[in-house]
Amino acid sequence: MKSTFLLFGVLLLTITSFAQEQFIPPRPEHFTPVVDSVNVLTPEQESDLTQKIKRFEDSTGTQIGVVLLSSLKGYDVESYAFQWFKKWQYGQNKNNNGVLLLAAINDRKVHIETGYGLEGVIPDALAKRIIEEHIKPNFKAINYHQGVDEAVDEMIKLASGETYTKESEEPVEWYWYLIVIVCFILLPFTLVILVIIWIVKAINKRTGGTTYTGKGVNKNSNNLGSTSTYSDSTDTTKRKYSDYSDYSDYSDKSSYSDYSDYSDSSGGSSGGGGASGDW
């Protein structure tokens, strides 16, 4: 019974994948990295994106694809992007250094699919951030070119070995400075003062007010012949404790460089990595 269900599942998955491929056109002989089947980009915008991607491809061998569709025909965006990547084979066969940005405008769905060779520099978490911080805000505002252009720029930076720096460009709110000042300056200083005051009070409580005065023989002493004195009657000041202790310090203390041979400009495969989103 289990084997029957397993066979049925595999068969269903195969049929679904085959049906998806029927909606995916074959890779053209003269490959173009930008496919805009819904015409949300102007000819100039599409040309600028194409030239930018081509320049990066010529210098590194990494191939970026942008596909803008009207609908996914009811299919899941992640599996649809995977099938498109598989059919078009982005990147070099030996390096698997391709990445695909696929968006369905009417469905408001988007996915970034990465090849095996780029999973180290464009991991799922960073692909998700590109979608959340660049694609979604622009697509919501109907700025499709701006969203795609920013996403392509980020993928180029990451594929070139640069770090994702979106958060460093954002202004720091004023209250974070206040939190830092309170936690790392005022609070430790206050604790030092309180500890010193507590120690001083403890020492004064232990030794304060005790003096020994008088001279001559202690009349109540059993040793009547003793003529020793306890202290000089003129010294009635309290004992001084000028050095308690030292409290001066109380602070808590994969690169992809081999692109020399780019005769194989296609044939890369996807590792199934990436991220999805909607807007």
Mean pLDDT, residues 254-278 taken together: 58
Q: Report the percent of the chain where pLDDT is more than 70.
A: 66
- Helix H or strand E encompassing 141: none
Which of the four pLDDT bands, split at 50, 70 and 90, describes residue 1? Answer: low
Is the pLDDT higher at 246 or at 48?
48
Is the pLDDT higher at 276 or at 6?
276
Query: Tokens standing for 147?
Result: 């969203």
Query: Tokens standing for 73?
Result: 């025909």
Which of the four pLDDT bands, split at 50, 70 and 90, describes residue 22? Answer: low
- What is the reported pLDDT for 166? 59
- Residues 48, 53, 56, CA angle at the centre, nearest 5°? 130
Is the pLDDT higher at 81 or at 215?
81
Q: What is the dihedral of CA 25, 31, 32, 33, to 10 degrees?
A: 90
Mean pLDDT, residues 52-78 taken together: 95
Question: What's 238's DSSP letter?
Answer: P
Q: Across the chain, which distance is largest between two alpha carbons, in Å?
A: 125
Annotate 61-76 with DSSP letters as a single string: --EEEEEEES--TT--
- Helix H or strand E encompassing 250: none
Residues listed for the chain: 279
What is each CA distance from 279 to 85, 110, 115, 236, 238, in whole angstroms? 22, 8, 24, 84, 78
Q: Report the percent of the chain where pLDDT is more than 90.
A: 47
Phi, psi of 210 (to 5 degrees): -95, 115
- pLDDT of 196 above 50: yes
Distance of CA 112 to the CA centre of its chain: 18
CATH architecture of 23-167+266-278: Roll (3.10)
- What is the reported pLDDT for 171? 53
Count of Cβ atoms closer than 10 Å to residue 102 Cβ: 26
Domain coordinates of the chain in residue numbers? 23-167+266-278
Least confident of 8-12, 29-33, 49-53, 267-271: 8-12
What is each CA distance from 34 to 16, 43, 77, 256, in whole angstroms? 26, 11, 18, 23
Count of Cβ atoms closer than 10 Å to residue 139 Cβ: 22
Is the pLDDT higher at 272 or at 149?
149
Of the candidates 139, 135, 134, 113, the one whose C-alpha atom is nearest the C-alpha of residue 124 is 113
Is the pLDDT higher at 3 or at 279?
279
Mean pLDDT, residues 153-163 taken together: 92
Mean pLDDT, residues 122-141 taken together: 96
